Amino acid sequence: MMENGNFFQEADATVSLLRQVSPYFLQHRDSLFVIHLDGGVVERPILQNLVRDLMLLSAVGIRIIVVFGAESLIATRFVKNNITPSKVKDFTVFDANCMKHVKEVVGSIRLSIESSFSYVREGAPMRMGATAKISSGNFVLAKAKGVIDGQEMLFSGELRSLDNEGISQRLDRGEIVLVPPVGPGSSGELFNLDSRLLASEIAIKFQSHKLIFLHEEEEISCDGSVIRQIGVKQAELALTTKQIEGELTKYLPIATRCCRKGVERVHFISYLTDGAILRELFTRDGVGTMLSDVPFDNLRSATRADIAEILELIKPMQEQGMLLGRTYDDLLKDLDDFIVIVREGIVVATAALHQHAELGQGEVACVAVHHDYRGDEFGDMLLGELELRAHIKSLKNLFVLTTHAADWFEERGYSLGTKADLPEVRRETYSDERNSTVLIKSISN
């Protein structure tokens, strides 16, 4: 009896799982993903699981181009051999001696990846090794970088052309295409290529649905908080204001350019988490950071059609005294100030930015996230969008009046202010009875 019970429980769980993931399978089928794989993965046992996950993606009809990087292993090799190549700006000058090591490292990574695809462990789902072939070839033609700041860049190269047809043929046959970060020039000499740039150029040329960076680092953070989704404009602003720091900033300029040039989404995923790529692609909230020109969950300006849903969303918070009472007419009057996040067609979060442009001040107001969606960083997304809008409108300072969320704003860079910090018109409407805390933030740099 007990065993039967377990069987049915497991079957129920399987049915529910299939129902959850099947929309994603349908959504991704026939899509093209370009994956930038940090070559350091070949030294980790996780490689085998990662390869199985890629095989699974290929088996469900996703077209995959893997561009692997070798930078970290090349750097280690250089250190071991006391090689210190010169640099011009951010570029390394690869001479003949460096290239000897580059060839060995790249060759060895390529062999490790290829053999992982051939190795099918007992019990691997669907024994997919039989169908998911990996194909590498001379798809990339390179050219010399030439001279930068008077320095001959020798074997540091860049992409000259791509064999689109050759790659497409392999993809049509259901093969995974593997592209190394080196390419021959017109006279047959080999050039070292920046693998991230190469991956992004390929993603742009093929207008892939996704460019995925699979690297070691954990998620991208901003001001200490993990970013799950970020819009291109937000990312560009975060880069200029240096809010995003560390290794991963290297990826963002390439990624934002990619989105601007038509690649729908760029994901940053750490391969250290087992199954990370599947979690990112087949669960609602994912595990990595996603950059998109199409705002996730549709964060957009509010329209007249949203007013009824905004009122319904904020009603319980008004009743608890968290938010100021607002009527339909109030919302209609200030509609241009409001933004909303819509999930599955329903407004689940809202916020407003009221401007006092002549004073360079803006009021962040009515930040409200539906109870069921709290903790999913919708509050952060709203605030990020309002701050971006304030920045674009050249506002210098933001203030907010809150009865229940002072800590939340303080953790996001707002500091305690007083009534005296408010513009006069707002001081006049300040309710001593509500006794809201005043918080302020400078956004001028």
Ligand X SMILES: CC(C)(COP(=O)(O)OP(=O)(O)OC[C@H]1O[C@@H](n2cnc3c(N)ncnc32)[C@H](O)[C@@H]1OP(=O)(O)O)[C@@H](O)C(=O)NCCC(=O)NCCS
Residues that bind ligand X (CB under 6 A): 317, 322-323, 365-369, 374-380, 400, 402, 404-405, 407-408
Task: Give CA–CA dist 441/397, Å, rounded.
Answer: 6
Looking at beta carbons only, is 236 or 376 nearer to ligand X?
376
Looking at beta carbons only, is 47 or 368 nearer to ligand X?
368
In the complex, minimum distance from the CB of residue 379 to ligand X, in angstroms, rounded to a whole number = 3
Q: How far is CA 150 from CA 146, 153, 303, in A?
A: 10, 9, 56
Looking at beta carbons only, is 17 or 416 nearer to ligand X?
416
Four-point Cα dihedral 387, 393, 398, 400, nearest 10? -80
Looking at beta carbons only, is 87 or 371 nearer to ligand X?
371
Concatenated DSSP letters for 50-119?
HHHHHHHHHHTT-EEEEEEE-HHHHHHHHHHTT----EETTEE-B-HHHHHHHHHHHHHHHHHHHHHHH-
In the complex, minimum distance from the CB of residue 376 to ligand X, in angstroms, rounded to a whole number = 6
In the complex, minimum distance from the CB of residue 85 to ligand X, in angstroms, rounded to a whole number = 43
Helix (H) or strand (E) holding 369: strand 361-369
In the complex, minimum distance from the CB of residue 281 to ligand X, in angstroms, rounded to a whole number = 22
Looking at beta carbons only, is 307 or 365 nearer to ligand X?
365
Task: Give CA–CA dist 278/60, Å, rounded.
Answer: 12
Backbone phi and psi for residue 225, each to the nearest 5 degrees, phi listed first: -105, 145
Q: Which two tokens stand for residue 436?
A: 């809201």
In the complex, minimum distance from the CB of residue 229 to ligand X, in angstroms, rounded to a whole number = 12
Looking at beta carbons only, is 3 or 372 nearer to ligand X?
372
Looking at beta carbons only, is 42 or 314 nearer to ligand X?
314
In the complex, minimum distance from the CB of residue 434 to ligand X, in angstroms, rounded to a whole number = 11
Among 272, 215, 248, 273, which residue's Cα sits nearest to residue 72?
Answer: 215
Burial environment of residue 217 by CB neighbours within 10 A (0 to 12, 13 to 18, 19 or more): middle
Looking at beta carbons only, is 331 or 367 nearer to ligand X?
367
In the complex, minimum distance from the CB of residue 254 to ligand X, in angstroms, rounded to a whole number = 27
In the complex, minimum distance from the CB of residue 422 to ligand X, in angstroms, rounded to a whole number = 14
Task: Give CA–CA dist 350/381, Å, rounded.
Answer: 10
* Cβ contacts of 345 within 8 Å, gap of 6 or more: none
Task: Give CA–CA dist 225/228, Å, rounded.
Answer: 9
Looking at beta carbons only, is 172 or 344 nearer to ligand X?
344
In the complex, minimum distance from the CB of residue 118 to ligand X, in angstroms, rounded to a whole number = 44
Per DSSP, which regions of 288-357 are E strands? 289-292, 299-301, 338-343, 346-356
Residue nearest to ligand X (CB): 379
Identity of residue 127: R
